[in-house]
């Protein structure tokens, strides 16, 4: 039996954005570059959203407007959760929506991803089989797959192809 996609879960570091929090110098800062907001570290290294992550989150937003109830969530392990939250507050996808506004549920702490998913399941009541997870680390994919979550490995960050693969897994049409 094919379950409906109800929850798309994204790792943050090197899945939604780059560089990873441990690779940046100091907490993020925001500055305006004309009409565009740029998020950087203290050495002015830009923190940017992968195009595929922007595409997937924008598509989820559009599907929700069309009354398809798909939620987005974060499952991220970092030792700098406040920096990650600040990036989510400031970074925007292609349609201008902040990452914070894109995600319905956020699990950020330094624990195993399996625990993140147990908490997401408890909060949402969504079956593991109705979830998809994107991550650039195979150990996280392996950990979460045991729960019955459909997982997509994104070693080079989130891509449109990874999102299309998720839609295909659930028998959904692509744009």
Taking residues 89-115, report their average pLDDT: 95
Query: Residue 160: inside a domain, yes or no?
Result: yes
Number of domains in the chain: 1
The pLDDT tens digits of the residues spanning 103-141 come to 999 999 988 999 999 999 999 999 999 999 999 999 999
Tens digits of per-residue pLDDT, 41-63? Answer: 999 999 999 999 999 999 999 98
- Distance between CA atoms of 123 and 29, rounded to whole angstroms? 32
Query: From CA 138, how far away is CA 93, in angstroms rounded?
Result: 26
Cβ neighbourhood burial of 2 (10 Å; 0-12, 13-18, 19+) = exposed
> Domain for residue 25, yes or no?
no
- Identify the domain containing residue 102 by its residue range: 7-17+48-169
**What are the residue numbers of the active site?**
11, 13
């Amino acid at each position: 039996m094919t379950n409906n996609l109800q929850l798309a879960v994204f790792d943050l570091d090197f899945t939604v954005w780059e560089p990873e929090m441990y690779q940046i110098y100091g907490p993020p800062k925001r500055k305006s570059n004309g009409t565009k907001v740029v998020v950087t570290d203290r050495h002015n290294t830009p923190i940017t959203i992968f195009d595929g992550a922007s595409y997937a989150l924008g598509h989820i937003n559009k599907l929700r407007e069309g009354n398809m109830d798909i939620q987005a969530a974060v499952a991220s392990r970092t030792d700098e959760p406040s920096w990650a939250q600040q990036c989510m507050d400031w970074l925007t996808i292609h349609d201008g929506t902040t990452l914070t506004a894109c995600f319905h549920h956020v699990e950020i702490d330094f624990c195993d991803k399996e625990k993140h998913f147990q908490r997401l399941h408890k909060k949402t009541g969504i079956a593991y089989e109705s979830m998809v997870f994107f991550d650039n680390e195979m150990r996280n994919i392996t950990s979460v797959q045991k729960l019955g979550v459909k997982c997509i490995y994104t070693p080079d960050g989130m891509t449109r192809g990874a999102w299309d693969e998720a839609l295909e897994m659930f028998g959904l049409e692509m744009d």
